[in-house]
Chains A and B, each alone.
Chain A
Amino acid sequence: MAAAAKVVTPVRADFEGIVREHQSMVFSIAYHFLHDRPAAEELSQDVFLQLYKSMGALESAEHVTRWLRRVTTNRCIDQCRRSKLMPRIGLDQVAEPAIPAGLPDIMLSRALSQLVASLPANWRALVILKYQEEMETEEIARALDMPVGTVKSQLSRALDFLREKASRMLRETV
């Protein structure tokens, strides 16, 4: 009886509210991953369609948020693997975007965004969830179904890579 009551098709108005509440989070994860606004919108729409069909199994607002982060990230990783959006050149060969002197913060931000987009899909997911969503290592591990140790080590390697590239950029501009 309780299980039957739990599986309720969401009322349209309620669901539209959920879309409006989470659209920025879902779209931003997809955009930072794919660096392509139309592709990010399409993927985000697909995620919300999947959410609509899965609403009966979700028990709370927090569950919906966790579900959206996990499904969006996994779809992004899958899309990268399918469409070969993975870096087409080796990490060592990624050129640092030039930063004109005088505008370090804005340009650094833009350059870092591009550097993140050049990371392998798994590293990219970890960096986006940590810095966009401000998630703790344990939360990321749960969301991506990965061991905490793996999350820590991969995040550390991704940040070392970004730090090295970013500091090289800054040295060159000072």
Chain B
Amino acid sequence: MTTFIQTQPIPAQPNPKKEELSLPRRYGKMLLGTPTNVFITVGCVVILWLVVPPLFRWLFSEAVWAGTPEECRQAAGACWPFIQEKFRFFIYGMYPLDERWRATLAIVILFGITGIAMVPRFWGKGLVLTWLAAIVGVFWLLLGGFGLPPVRTEMIGGLPLTLLLSLTVLPLGFPVGLLLALGRRSEFRLFRWISIAIIEAFRGSPLVATLFIASVMLPFFLPEGMTLPKLMRALAAFLIVAAAYIAEALRGGFQVVPEGQAEAAFSIGMKRWQILFLITLPQVIRHSIPGLVTIVVLFFKDTSLIIVIGMSDFLAAIQLASRDPAWIGFTVEGYVFAAAFYFTFCYVLSLYALRLERRRQNH
């Protein structure tokens, strides 16, 4: 009977070599490595060939960059003078001419505070206060009063309105959202039920419907003789919907913080509100920031829905401008411009949320 026993030690083998290719060869392999990949690459090239050159021609080479509507109509490409001509209207809407510097300042402040809030080094109590001050300042600038000539709320439109509704919704809705999130995990059944009902109702119904309801129903619940401007009604609707979404984002954060921390804090004699504000909440917020940024993106896009209740934000201003008889027929250009603007802002924020998410996972 033969036996197979290794008597000689096998010498150590070198590590399997990692395949190292030069950059062009690596890309060559990725693009044309297998028959499937060749097929995919050819398909993509065909799609790009069909889409990119006509798009380029329309956007750039055959487009009109300066001129009159008549010149535009004769050209095959896009009509950019339309955008140049109407640019101020897109930005300011119906805002009074003499007061436009206030709208400009408001835009700068809102963009500035958003930029500052994106830097993790500035996260803290100071930022919250600055943000609140900025919101108060922007409202003051746009609406007037207290030394500035007042502007009717119906006159506020264009970009400031878009920014006002989308960027103030997070800080203003946050306390309500926090209350709802706490209510949802409360040990008191009554509070839990109310919170769940509010969260689910406002997350479940379309924003358009909520806006419509706010503009139709709120007057019914106001005492006689009291009216609320449309802007405030829209803001109220956005606020409560944002609060519902924020509550949902915070819920995930609350689940992450281990219970032992609150117990430990309790055992060293901290009060409940101290535990909440000093121990739990900072961690919860840190965990929910990507979700909160996503909410900002969502609201930045969805502010355009206030068109339904007859207010004109950035997108609505573009729609209005394209009805100008002198410049009729260039709606698509307006929409492309709007898409570029929205895309830039939302894409940057989305990338930022993604980076925060990665950073959190690496922690």
A, B in one complex: no
The interface of chain B, by Cβ under 8 A from chain A, is none
